[in-house]
Amino acid sequence: MSIKTIAVVIVAVLLTIVLMQNTDEVYFKFLFSTFRVSKLMIMLVVAVTGFVLGLIVAWPKKQKFDIGGYHDALRDKNDTDTLSDEDREYIS
- Three-class HEC string of the chain: CCHHHHHHHHHHHHHHHHHHHCCCEEEEEECCEEEEEEHHHHHHHHHHHHHHHHHHHHCCCCCCCCHHHHHHHHHHHHCCCCCCHHHHHHHC
pTM (two decimals): 0.46
**pLDDT tens digit string along 42-87?**
888 888 899 899 888 888 777 666 565 555 555 555 556 677 788 8
**pLDDT tens digit string along 7-52?**
989 988 998 888 788 778 888 888 889 989 888 888 888 888 998 9
